[in-house]
Amino acid sequence: RLGLLALAGLGVSYLAAYERARGRSLGYRFAEAPSFRATGGGLVAAALLTGWVEPLLWAFLALNATAAVARGASVRAQDRRGARARTVGVR
C-alpha cells in the first residue's frame, strides 16, 4: 500500500510540474508561493525522519493533486478570457 501511495504521489507531482512548465512555455501565468515546492520536499523529509510515512505521503499526494487541479483550472480560465501572454512564435 505504501509503495502505491508513493508512486501515486510521485506521478501527481510530475503532472503538476509538467503543467507548470508547459503552461509557462505557452505563455500562461501562475501565482504560486515560493515555499510551495519546499513544502512538498519537507513533507517527504518529515515522513522519512519521523516514521509517519503513510499520513505524510497522503498529505504529499493531496498537496500535489490540489496544485495540478488549480493549475489546470488556471490555464482553462486564462484560455477562456484570452489572457495568455503574447510570446514570440506561440499561437
- pLDDT one-digit tens code per residue, 3-44: 999 999 999 999 988 988 888 888 888 877 778 778 988 998
Residue 88 CB neighbour total at 10 angstroms: 5
pTM as predicted: 0.80
- pLDDT tens-place string over residues 50-86: 999 999 999 999 999 999 998 889 888 888 887 666 5
Please answer whether residues 20 and 74 qualify as being in contact, where contact means their C-beta atoms are separated by less than 8 angstroms.
no
pLDDT of res. 60: 94
| pLDDT band at 88; cut points 50, 70, 90 | very low
